[in-house]
């Protein structure tokens, strides 16, 4: 069975949805499972609705905008009396009904119940359009198959239960399902983390022992840098799982960090290809592919730089580090880069849950802190150490590390 994943950019409007059908026509639509993300910027728009809801504002207006966008897209795909319009209205009625009845103050729980609807709606629209155009498929609710714990916004997969459920699927049937979502024991929706649709595709690929998995992007494949942020980048036609995992670890946006482990475990070939030029070969990720040595660039934005030191200028010792790391875990803050000296600890942090201020306030009970928000982390792999590097030459460098031909620099 083949697994295809289409991201939000590939279904952002009616013409894009039609292009998905063209891609499938060129690739062959047999024994295929399609994982699809929310359309365009829907996730961002639903995130705003949740934020306004917790601010006691007019969230209904935000939801109405999202609904109108999906109706406009559907008007370009279906006849006006098509049953998909009733389905779309029902999804949005469910969102508003949930928010009216909700009593939970848990932001992350509410987030998952609302934001996940973007994938539900986009997958229904794509499934209906494909069925109308000779691409026969069955629509699948991923929450019935991907089972997780109740760690809302970044669920951990229950692999045993998930594999048991997915293995019951008929491999001769074509399916359209959602990325990004699963459900916990009480069947409430749990999302798998931002950009988690790639991970969803890998979960299905692993559990179905897929022949291959392809992620369709708006770029030619895995590049030596994001062409929207770096000049003179080139395509990597083949890379090993190890290289891909390292790139994902450093923050390469084209590959979700969790995607690769399940594929590597079963040696499932993984392709990154362009939905604009589907006839081109893109990038193949797999085993026994030589280590790539091309200099490549990765940029992680929206990071925070923090310097922590003891109040009495004593050494940063093991007990201090243990205390700081425990507080980071409690606040769900991830370390992107760290460096310590005798009396200070410097951290580049990713604050996905917006708890950085709370973390700093708690730290200041025992430590001195300096916090600089919204910094950037550049990583250069296979760096030309002798020639230096120009991508951050005009930046204010806050922290720099180099090892094994990899340079990492925090700038503002």
Q: What is the pLDDT of residue 388?
A: 57
Instruction: Please state, in angstroms and rounded to a whole number, the distance separating the CA atoms of residues 88 and 121.
Output: 6
Give whole-number Cα distances, 316 to 304, 308, 320, 337, 358, in Å: 21, 9, 6, 17, 21
Q: What is the pLDDT of residue 168?
A: 97
Q: What is the pLDDT of residue 290?
A: 63
Q: What is the pLDDT of residue 100?
A: 96
Q: What is the pLDDT of residue 390?
A: 67
Instruction: Please state, in angstroms and rounded to a whole number, the distance separating the CA atoms of residues 70 and 128.
Output: 14
Domains, the chain, ordered by start:
2-217 (3.40.1160.10), 296-411 (3.30.2130.10)
Q: What is the mean pLDDT of each run of 10 residues along the chain (412 residues)?
A: 96 98 94 97 97 95 97 97 96 96 96 98 98 97 98 96 98 97 97 90 98 94 91 91 87 83 93 95 84 87 96 88 96 94 93 94 95 96 73 86 89 93
Q: What is the pLDDT of residue 289?
A: 67
Say if residues 197 and 119 touch (Cβ distance below 8 Å): yes
Strand ranges inside 22-100, DSSP E: 32-36
């Amino acid at each position: 069975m083949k697994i295809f994943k289409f991201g939000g950019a590939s279904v952002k409007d009616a013409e894009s949805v039609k292009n998905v059908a063209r891609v499938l026509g060129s690739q062959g639509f047999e024994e295929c499972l399609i994982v699809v993300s929310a359309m365009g910027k829907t996730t961002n728009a639903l995130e705003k609705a949740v934020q306004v809801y917790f601010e006691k504002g007019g969230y209904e207006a935000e939801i109405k905008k999202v609904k109108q966008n999906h109706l406009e897209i559907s008007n370009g795909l279906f006849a006006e009396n098509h049953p998909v319009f009733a389905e779309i209205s029902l999804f949005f009625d469910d969102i508003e009904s949930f928010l009216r009845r909700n009593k939970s103050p848990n932001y992350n729980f509410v987030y998952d119940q609302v934001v996940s609807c973007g994938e539900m709606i986009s997958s229904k629209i794509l499934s209906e359009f494909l069925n109308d155009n000779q691409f026969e498929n069955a629509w699948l609710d991923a929450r019935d198959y991907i089972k997780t714990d109740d760690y809302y916004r970044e669920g951990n997969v229950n692999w045993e239960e998930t594999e048991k459920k997915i293995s019951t699927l008929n491999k001769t049937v074509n399916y359209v399902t959602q990325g990004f979502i699963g459900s916990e024991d009480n069947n409430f929706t749990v999302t798998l983390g931002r950009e988690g649709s790639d991970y969803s595709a890998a979960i299905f690929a692993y559990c179905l022992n897929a022949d291959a998995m392809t992620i369709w992007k708006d770029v030619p494949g895995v590049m030596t840098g994001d062409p929207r942020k770096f000049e003179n980048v080139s395509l990597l036609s083949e890379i090993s799982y190890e290289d891909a995992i390292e790139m994902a670890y450093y923050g390469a946006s084209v590959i979700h960090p969790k995607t690769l482990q399940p594929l590597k475990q079963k040696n499932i070939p993984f392709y990154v290809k362009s939905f604009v030029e589907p006839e081109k070969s893109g990038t193949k990720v797999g085993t026994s592919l030589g280590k790539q040595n091309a200099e490549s660039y990765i940029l992680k934005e929206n990071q925070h730089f923090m310097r922590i030191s003891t109040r009495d200028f004593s050494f940063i010792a093991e007990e201090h580090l243990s205390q700081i790391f425990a507080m980071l875990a409690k606040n769900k803050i991830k370390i992107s880069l760290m460096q310590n000296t005798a009396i200070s600890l410097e951290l580049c942090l990713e604050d996905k849950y917006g708890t950085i201020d709370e973390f700093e306030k708690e730290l200041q009970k025992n430590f001195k802190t300096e916090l600089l928000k919204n910094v950037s982390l550049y990583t250069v792999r296979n760096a030309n150490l002798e020639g230096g590097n120009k991508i951050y030459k005009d930046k204010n460098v806050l922290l720099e590390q180099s090892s094994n031909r990899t340079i990492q620099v925090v700038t503002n």
